[in-house]
Each structure stands twice: as structure tokens, then as C-alpha cells.
Amino acid sequence: MNRKFTLGNIGTLTLNFKAGFLALVFMIASAYAMPAEAFRGRKAPDPERIIANLTRELGLSETQADQVRPIIENQVEQRKSIFEKYSSQGRDGRQAMRGEMETLRSETKTQMASVLTDEQMAKYEAFQEQRRQKKGSRGQRGKRQNF
């Protein structure tokens, strides 16, 4: 099959190149517009899932689950806010983010202690420590446990 280049073919090639280039620009712009968690392929923690896990693992009563709900919901919102605040600031942002996250963990622990029994609190702290160790050993990658 003999194909001849004509001026019409060059115009079509130019048009296809422009369309491809615009599609590439759009994809890059869309990636920058996504929240950082979505871009990394992570879903934000689901408060109801966390509460269900806590109820199952710690044996929360219905009253305790109702008292824990606003604590967990607040923590999830705060974590999301802190992450978004520092996610684009590089190394300095990560250091500041770690500090704020540690403060949030401490506040959450204090609030949880006011709801949980001593036995439940010991289990909660053990789960948190296990989660931190597991997270650190994987380089902070892998499946998260939300409780």
C-alpha cells in the first residue's frame, strides 16, 4: 500500500498531536487537583469502620460506642486537615506534620481514657503500639488497621 504525504495528512497529524498534548496537560492538571491522599491511592479512614473495630476488639458497650463516635470523627477530620496542610511542603512540612499528629494522638488518647475502662484502655494502647510498630516496619506502607 502506497501512502503519500500530502498537506492534508500533515494537518491531520498536527491536529492529533495537539489533541494528545491537550489530553496530557489535562491529566497532569487533574492529578495536581486531587487531594494528596487520593493521589497516593489511599482512602481516608472511615470513622464508622474504626468504631466498629473498636467495639469488636475492645468490647465497647452501646453507650461507650456513642461516646467514642465524636472523638473518632473529630480525630479523622483533624488528621485529614493536618495532612492536607503539610502534604505539599516537603521535608520541613513532614516534620511539622509529625508534631501535630503526635499532639492529636495524645489528645485522642486522653479523650478515650475518659470513656474506656482501664482494661479497655490497656487493649487500646496495645493496639495503637502494635499498629505503630507494624507501620514502621513496612516503611509506612501496606494495609492500615483503623483503630
Average per-residue pLDDT for the chain: 76
Query: Per-residue confidence at 5, pLDDT binned at 50, 70, 90?
Result: low
Higher pLDDT, 107 or 147: 107
Whether residue 48 is found in the same domain as residue 80 = yes
Whether residue 29 is found in the same domain as residue 48 = no
Tell me whether residue 78 is in a domain. yes
Whether residue 28 is found in the same domain as residue 54 = no
Q: Is the pLDDT of residue 76 over 70?
A: yes
Query: Per-residue confidence at 39, pLDDT binned at 50, 70, 90?
Result: very low
- Give the residue-averaged pLDDT of 8-12: 56
Q: Is the pLDDT of residue 125 over 70?
A: yes
At 87 the pLDDT is 79
Q: Tell me the longest C-alpha to C-alpha distance in the chain.
A: 84
Helices within 42-141 (DSSP H only): 47-58, 62-86, 90-113, 118-137
Whether residue 4 is found in the same domain as residue 66 = no
Share above pLDDT 90 across residues of the chain, in percent, rounded to a whole number:
40
The DSSP string of 13-57 is HHHHHHHHHHHHHHHHHHHHHS-HHHHTTPPPP-HHHHHHHHHHH
> If we measure between CA atoms, which residue out of 74, 76, 100, 75 comes closest to residue 87?
100
Calpha distance 93→86 (Å, rounded): 5
Whether residue 10 is found in the same domain as residue 64 = no
At 74 the pLDDT is 95
Whether residue 29 is found in the same domain as residue 59 = no
At 2 the pLDDT is 60
Whether residue 28 is found in the same domain as residue 60 = no
What's the total number of domains in the chain? 2
C-alpha 19: how far from its chain's center? 34
Q: Is the pLDDT of residue 77 over 80?
A: yes
At 15 the pLDDT is 53
**Which residue range is the domain that position 99 belongs to?**
44-137
Q: Is the pLDDT of residue 12 over 80?
A: no
Whether residue 55 is found in the same domain as residue 100 = yes
Q: Is the pLDDT of residue 60 over 80?
A: yes
Whether residue 98 is found in the same domain as residue 50 = yes
Residue 59 has which C-alpha cell? Answer: 468490647
Residue 54 has which C-alpha cell? Answer: 473498636
